[in-house]
Amino acid sequence: MSTQALRDKIAVITGGSSGIGAACARAMAAEGSRVVVGYHQGLDRAQALVAELPGQGHAARHIPLDDTASHRALAEWIRQELGRADILINSAGYTRRIPHADLAQMEPALFNEILLANAGGTFSITRALLPLLQERGDGLVVNISSVSAFTGSGSNIAYCAAKAAVDTLTMSLARVFGPKVRFLSVSPASVDTDFVSGRSREELAKKAAQTPLGRVVTPEDVARAVLACATHLKTATGTRIVIDGGHTL
């Protein structure tokens, strides 16, 4: 049951047209927030999601990770059209499945591409929106990270390195921009989405069965954790919220 805990808040969500980002958009809107659904190639998905969200004033915006000029333009559009931003959820990312031992396939250019998309893009978007998030003194940035950041096990070594960078970025920004803005990482294990091409539901279920809780992490699980960062974890900043079903145990 909605408590409208985020009424009058404005939440910006990168990668918001599908998967974790879309689940976050639904959760934020259900609690009264106006939502900016960021997308890269999923314009139709983003527009369909905006149309189904409860409440009014939602919008879809093109937010590619590798275009810093578009991040500055986004901040200006938010200031002119919405007046402020209260919550930024960095959900957009990119990976591909490459065995860690296959360094021939993990060429330096690909490594840098994955690092830029997942860590550099997160930094650039956060940097662009930070002045808006600071203005009311209670801003929040939630970075969707991964247990890969501290286990070193994931879709490829570049992705692990990128998520580790995101976690350290979260900690560093929290240290210098509090109390006006809090920064948190939400770190799931493998989530039931199509983010990693070629990963089957059966594979996810097999891995989950070996964890203490024995269940696959869903996009809605991640969205509820993000929502808790905004509504309940008011004294948490600069840390990670691990929601992996006990995978790392």
Q: Where are the domains of the chain?
A: 10-242
pLDDT attached to residue 125 = 98
Low-confidence spans in the chain with pLDDT less than 50: none
Tell me, what DSSP letter sits at residue 211? S
Predicted confidence at residue 226, as pLDDT, reads 98
pLDDT computed for residue 118 by the predictor: 95
Paired with 198 in beta bridges are none
What pLDDT, on a 0 to 100 scale, did the predictor assign at position 188?
A: 93
> So what's the pLDDT on residue 210?
84
- pLDDT at residue 202, as a whole number: 77
Report the catalytic residues: 159
pTM above 0.85, yes or no: yes
Cα separation of 240 and 147, whole Å? 10
* Topology given in CATH for the domain delimited by 10-242: Rossmann fold (3.40.50)
Q: What is the pLDDT of residue 2?
A: 73
Residue 135: CB atoms within 10 Å:
16
Q: How confident is the model over 142-183, as pLDDT tens digits?
A: 999 999 999 999 999 999 999 999 999 999 999 999 999 999
- Nearest 5°: the CA angle 75, 77, 81 is 125
User: What pLDDT, on a 0 to 100 scale, did the predictor assign at position 134?
Assistant: 98
Contact 185, 240 (CB under 8 A): yes
* Neighbour-count burial for 92-123, b at 16+ CB within 10 Å, e otherwise: bbbbbebeeeeeeebeeeebebbbbbbbbbbb
pLDDT reported for residue 198: 61
Which pLDDT belongs to residue 225?
97
What is the distance between the alpha carbons of residues 180 and 176, in angstroms, rounded to a whole number? 10
Residues 6+ apart with CB under 8 A from 234: none
133 neighbors 139 (Cβ within 8 angstroms)? yes
